[in-house]
Amino acid sequence: MKSKKWLSALGVTSLLLAGVLSGCSSDDASSKEGNGSTEDGEKIEVSLAGWGGNPTEEKLLKQTLDDFEKKHPDIDVKYEVISEQYMDVMKTRLVGGEAADVFYLDAFEAPALIETGVIQPLDEFITEDFDVEDFEKPLAEAFVVDGKTYGFPKDYSTLALFYNKKMLADAGVEVPKTMEEFREAAKKLTKDGVYGFGVAPELARMYWLAESKGGEVVKDNKANFASSDVVEALQPIIEMHNVDKTAVEPKEVGVNWGGEIFGQEKAAMVIEGNWAIPFLADTFPDVEYGTAELPAVDGKKSTMAYSVAYVMNAQSEKKEAAWKLISYLTGKEGMKTWTSKGYALPTRKSVAAELGYDKDELRTALVAGASYATVWSKGTNLPIIMNNFNNQFLSAFLGQADLAEALKEAEKQANSEIDAK
């Protein structure tokens, strides 16, 4: 155990030492940088790293970066797509002092990476005209640690209930607004080879429900999902699969995910995010569907939010220019361009309103959830907690184990792994 901790500390220390050793060159670069160009008039090149997207998203990002360069002719942006094992590549480059000046950081990964000291706090760069209050609060707070801001979210998605309009109409079912109504609706919709609910039995999709009875999945940075409140909240999903026979995992009917089982009309309802909308439009354009906020539990609304921020490499020698890039990409103008086609939702309330997403027939429910969502980010040990939860929850979902016992075993194993770090 001690050797693991020593090796981990060595990696971070080496990284920080590299920053100290490069201090002179960093200071020199900063003094020359000014508004983005060097003293001799040469352009500053700022590197940006992220993962790829579909062709439309790539085109939108290129347009946004082109617009930035036109407004800042003294700065060139070098964009690199890291298509595989993104976080592993970034961590290796950060330790080696070779990471991009600005890069994507998922909220899920943020706490652990911020803890190492490799991410630059942005507070010293923020000006009043940047309008921090315009961001949806839960999304912005996901990148604030100990009062310091380490990134600003570039986009997000919440979860919403996707429902097949024709199937609900034929069954005489209203769009369910509570979990009780949802379970009853699923019973009426399950017929002729169609299931009422296509469910993803994993923590990333179940977290909102797991905490709906007042329980905490993560407490003091350790697994806490075996608590009675969490078990009670999740039990209906287990019963819908094993007792009611109204819920099904996509793989059980030969498909890969919720959008596909819904598009093939093998499930009348699924819980998915904004990413499902363009997928359904492109792949299953004839399916008539609507979206709604997730069913309330005990009168309380809840949902999940998944977000990615632009962050700055703490070792960057071009911090002023890097901030200009971040502030444009997450500013009102840049964000409007990036989210203009609806492939991503804007984290700024004003941009969502300007683009009409708060009134959009399919996206209203997604946007409404942003203000009360639980962001998929909870401490430095969430990856360990998630892996152990998923393994045991799936066994309960498939009827191979009692839910309470399965989660008790998963919690024990998760916390054992956390203690051994």
Number of domains in the chain: 2
Burial 155-166 (b: 16+ CB within 10 A, else e): bbbbbbbbbbee
Instruction: For residue range 156-207, list pLDDT tens digits in order.
Output: 999 999 999 999 999 999 999 999 999 999 999 999 999 999 999 999 999 9
Quick check: helix, strand or coil at residue 288? coil
Domain at 75, CATH number: 3.40.190.10
From 375, 396, 411, give the residue that closes a domain: 375
Distance CA 214, CA 220 (A): 16
pLDDT tens per residue across span 51-101: 988 899 999 999 999 999 999 999 999 999 999 999 999 999 999 999 999
Angle, CA of 333, 368 and 104, to the nearest 5°: 45
Q: Is residue 1 part of a domain?
A: no
Residue 245 in any domain: the answer is: yes
Boundary-marking domain end, from 358, 375, 392: 375
Same domain, 384 and 333: no
Residue 44 sits in the same domain as residue 133:
yes
DSSP string covering 22-41: THHHHHHHHHHHTTTS-TTS
Which residues partner with 307 through β-bridges? 156
Gyration radius from the chain CA atoms: 23
Nearest one of 62, 142, 152, 56 to 104, comparing CA atoms? 152
Distance CA 85, CA 51 (A): 9
DSSP state of 267: E
Contacts of 345 (CB under 8 A, 6+ apart): 155, 156, 157, 274, 339, 352, 357, 363, 366, 367, 370
Judged against a pLDDT cut of 50, whether residue 7 lies above it is answered with no
Structural domain of 402: 160-303+378-419
| Among 69, 99, 107, residue whose Cα is nearest residue 82 | 99
pLDDT value of residue 53: 87
- The first and second tokens of residue 319, run together, are 């911090």
Looking at the fold, whether 287 and 170 belong to one and the same domain comes out as yes
Cβ-based burial of 43 (10 A; exposed 0-12, middle 13-18, buried ≥19): middle
What is the per-residue pLDDT across 224-278, written as a single tens digit (0 to 9) for each? Answer: 999 999 999 999 999 999 999 999 999 999 999 999 999 999 999 999 999 999 9
Beta bridge partners of 374: 304
What is the structure's pLDDT at 41?
Answer: 65
Q: What does pTM read for this prediction?
A: 0.89
Same domain, residue pair 49 and 147: yes
